[in-house]
Amino acid sequence: MSMLKKDSLIKGTLILAAAALVARFLGLLQKIPLDYMLGKEGNIAFGLANQIYLVLLLVATAGFPSAISKMVSERYALGKVEEARRIYHAALVFGAVSGLILATSLFAFAPFITSEIAQSPEAVFAVRAIAPALILFPIIAMMRGYFQGRRMMSAGGMSQIVEQFVRVLLGLALGFLVLQLGWGDDWAAAAITFGSVFGSIAAFGVMLHFARKLKRMDTADAGRMKAESSSPFMPIHSRTNGRSGGSKVKYSAIYREVFSMSLPAIVTSMAINVIYLFDLVFFNRLTDGYYLKDAATVVLEDLTLKAQSLAGIPPILAIALGSSIVPIVAAAYKVKNMKEVERQASNVIRIVCFTGVPFALLLSIASYSITGLLFESPSGSDVVAALSASTIVQITMMTSNSILYGMGKQKISMTHTLIGLILKAIISIALAPLMGVYGFVVASIICFVVVTMLNLRWLNKKEAKLTVLGKRWLPYIAAVAIAALAGWGAEVGVLSLTDGLHAKISYFLAAASVALVIGGLYLILLILLRVVRPEDVNAFPAALRKPFNILMKLIYRQRAV
């Protein structure tokens, strides 16, 4: 039962962040062998199938998980337990139906999508192979949303890790077997994507395990409450106002409420996947006059296999924070506790700034070494650097969207996100023929910046006065700039000194040096420039609080001497 205890914002964030980090790491581990196993067309087929699948998965769930999390959290805050359970049941029905419809549709229309739209007919087998995974994943997403609404993040985190383990291991094993049989890259890419089907089955099994444990716990709680309410020493209103009482809410009423929240949410939740899919689908069309055919294939493979994979690492914390903060902000906003809303919202953006930026810096500055270390060659490292740099503003966009969603202002975030996506499309169409892949990246950065600025402007003007860093922004920017410059120097120096060693060893030493320089110097500068203060450390997780306090004492003592 201990695994089902309610989690605080920080603990819930750490659980989801750890799960997302492991899942993303395993996903990256899957893509690294692909660079050695498959040819360029096979890698493009795998990447295209995955992006199409991710977008359709979000369509299948229609923003339900976040809506469920918010609605369940609110109902439990108001003591409407039966209504929360009814919402959960309605969501499961929707997930089952939408998953079956979309899985069937994707399988049937795969030839048209890959040949006519994406102009990559070799991807048809991979797209069809991943389609069955859409049957179970919408149901799993609904279950994760319910557990998050109950502030029990362990279930979703564990299922995510198990899913990725099974998906990666079985997918790669199947792909290797197909290649050994001599069936070619197209069928191998399909076999690897089929690993997602096995992953969905494993994740569903984990969620069923936690659902049974939660049911037993709720049954025990209900029995205890019933016994207490029947006690002659309990007030009369306690005896008649049981937790499990109340009339059933119609599914139609639940769906109206959910859709009013989830339809706007689907736009914000799909934004990154839509942007990545847009880049893949329209790459050949928009860069036709910029690249020769062979060069376009190479760059598209670098974008698909390397850049989009590595650029997905820095936003992990923002995704975890977003999932954790929605029910907490929703509960505080429901009872009009605006001080708590402002505190939690400011805290989450501050944590994102302190922790997300150094990861983006590392991947940008050391892109050459990291790409060369992980993949067959450092080809495409410039694209990795550009896309990783864009995640600095991507994480603030995602976090501010989550705050608005928790406050019930999902239509505001939807409007801002749509503005950003329209700008992304227009600027990509204008710049891609002139700048190639960098036209897509510049368009994405402008999209992220515009959405972030619109979100923060609305929040500060209408609802909550966020206090993130205040007058500490300039010292913070200085800390980031100095750490980045030092990291760049470290990579250039180490690569030069290790030029005679094996390439992989040289890349490893350079990447490790950049990580140590950026991580260490960034941390020290945050304290020296008083960007991080003792009151900030008090809000950190216990695991970080002690080492931070020790480091602060050492630095301040040295300065005093």
The whole model's pTM is what? 0.73
Mean pLDDT for 438-461 is 92
pLDDT band, very low/low/confident/very high, at 70 (cuts 50, 70, 90): confident
What's the CA gap between 154 and 326, in Å, rounded? 16
Residue 17 domain-assigned (yes or no): yes
Same domain, 369 and 474: no
Same domain, 479 and 459: no
Same domain, 454 and 483: no
Mean pLDDT for 90-108 is 91
Q: Most confidently modeled of 278-282, 366-370, 398-402, 469-473?
A: 366-370
Residue 100 has pLDDT above 50, yes or no: yes
Residue 244: what pLDDT?
Answer: 45
Tell which of 420, 450, 468 closes a domain: 468
Same domain, 284 and 424: yes
Inter-CA distances, 383 with 247, 348, 380, 555, Å: 57, 29, 5, 38
Residue 121 domain-assigned (yes or no): yes
Residue 254 domain-assigned (yes or no): no
Mean pLDDT for 391-406 is 84
Same domain, 169 and 35: yes
What's the CA gap between 438 and 383, in Å, rounded? 7
Tell which of 433, 468, 503 closes a domain: 468
What's the CA gap between 414 and 421, in Å, rounded? 10
CA dihedral 517, 522, 525, 527 (to 10 degrees): -130
Residue 543 has pLDDT above 70, yes or no: no
For 132-187, what is each residue's pLDDT tens digit?
A: 999 998 899 889 888 888 877 778 888 888 888 899 999 999 999 999 999 989 99
Compute the residue count for the chain: 561
Residue 7, classed as helix, strand or coil, is coil
Residue 359 has pLDDT above 80, yes or no: yes
What percent of the chain is predicted at pLDDT more than 90?
A: 33
pLDDT band, very low/low/confident/very high, at 3 (cuts 50, 70, 90): very low
Q: Which of 2-16, 152-166, 360-374, 439-453 has the lowest mean pLDDT?
A: 2-16
Residue 83 domain-assigned (yes or no): yes
HSE-up (13 A, CA, CB side) for residue 173: 9
Structure tokens at 125: 């087998």
Give the burial class of 434: count Cβ atoms within 10 A of its Cβ; 0-12 exposed, 13-18 middle, 19 or more buried.
exposed
Residue 244 domain-assigned (yes or no): no
Structure tokens at 195: 């690993």
Q: Which of 299-303, 386-390, 526-530 has the lowest mean pLDDT?
A: 526-530
Inter-CA distances, 112 with 105, 119, 187, 515, Å: 11, 9, 18, 45
Tell which of 441, 468, 495 closes a domain: 468
What's the CA gap between 433 and 291, in Å, rounded? 9
Q: Phi and psi of 486, rounded to 5°?
A: -65, -40
Structure tokens at 48: 């295209």
Tokens 């708590």 belong to 340
Q: Phi and psi of 66, rounded to 5°?
A: -65, -40
Which of the pair, 173 or 249, is modelled with greater confidence?
173
pLDDT band, very low/low/confident/very high, at 12 (cuts 50, 70, 90): low
Q: Which of 36-40, 368-372, 514-518 has the lowest mean pLDDT?
A: 36-40
Residue 384 has pLDDT above 60, yes or no: yes
What's the CA gap between 25 and 193, in Å, rounded? 17
Mean pLDDT value across the chain: 82
Q: Which residues contact 305 (CB under 8 A, 6 or more apart)?
A: 31, 34, 35, 43, 46, 47, 375
pLDDT band, very low/low/confident/very high, at 514 (cuts 50, 70, 90): very high
Residue 338 domain-assigned (yes or no): yes
Same domain, 202 and 316: no
For 185-243, what is each residue's pLDDT tens digit?
A: 999 999 999 999 999 999 999 999 988 888 888 777 666 655 544 444 333 434 444 44
Instruction: Report whether 533 contacts 354 (CB < 8 A).
Output: no
Same domain, 296 and 178: no
Nearest by Cα to 423 from 452, 385, 457 = 452
Residue 440 has pLDDT above 60, yes or no: yes
State which H helix or E strand residue 346 sits in: helix 338-365
Inter-CA distances, 445 with 282, 358, 423, Å: 18, 18, 10
Residue 237: what pLDDT?
Answer: 39
Residue 220: what pLDDT?
Answer: 75
Residue 69 has pLDDT above 60, yes or no: yes
Mean pLDDT for 390-401 is 87
Same domain, 541 and 462: no
Residue 485 has pLDDT above 70, yes or no: yes
Q: Which residues contact 337 (CB under 8 A, 6 or more apart)?
A: none
Q: Which residues contact 65 (CB under 8 A, 6 or more apart)?
A: 141, 142, 144, 145, 148
Which of the pair, 13 or 401, is modelled with greater confidence?
401
Same domain, 545 and 503: yes
Same domain, 376 and 489: no
Residue 427: what pLDDT?
Answer: 97
Q: Which residues contact 450 (CB under 8 A, 6 or more apart)?
A: 416, 419, 420, 423
Give the burial class of 379: count Cβ atoms within 10 A of its Cβ; 0-12 exposed, 13-18 middle, 19 or more buried.
middle
Q: Taking the mean position of all CA atoms in its chain, how far away is CA 370? A: 21
pLDDT band, very low/low/confident/very high, at 439 (cuts 50, 70, 90): very high
Residue 250 domain-assigned (yes or no): no
Q: Which of 210-214, 217-221, 374-378, 471-475 has the lowest mean pLDDT?
A: 217-221
Residue 247, classed as helix, strand or coil, is coil
Residue 454 has pLDDT above 90, yes or no: yes
Count of other CB atoms within 10 angstroms of residue 373: 20
> What string of DSSP letters covers 391-437?
HHHHHHHHHHHHHHHHTT-HHHHHHHHHHHHHHHHHHHHHHHHHHTH
Q: Most confidently modeled of 268-277, 316-325, 341-350?
A: 268-277
Q: Which of 211-225, 358-372, 510-524, 540-554 has the lowest mean pLDDT?
A: 540-554
Inter-CA distances, 270 with 5, 265, 398, Å: 30, 8, 11
Residue 518: what pLDDT?
Answer: 92
Residue 555 has pLDDT above 90, yes or no: no
What percent of the chain is predicted at pLDDT more than 70?
A: 85
Mean pLDDT for 493-517 is 94
Residue 247 domain-assigned (yes or no): no
Residue 56: what pLDDT?
Answer: 80
Same domain, 458 and 482: no
Residue 1 has pLDDT above 60, yes or no: no
Nearest by Cα to 281 from 41, 533, 48, 554 = 48
Same domain, 189 and 337: no
Per the structure, the complete domain to which residue 518 belongs is given by 470-561
Structure tokens at 73: 């959290």
HSE-up (13 A, CA, CB side) for residue 169: 8
Number of domains in the chain: 3
For the chain, helix (H) and strand (E) counts, in that order, are 23, 0
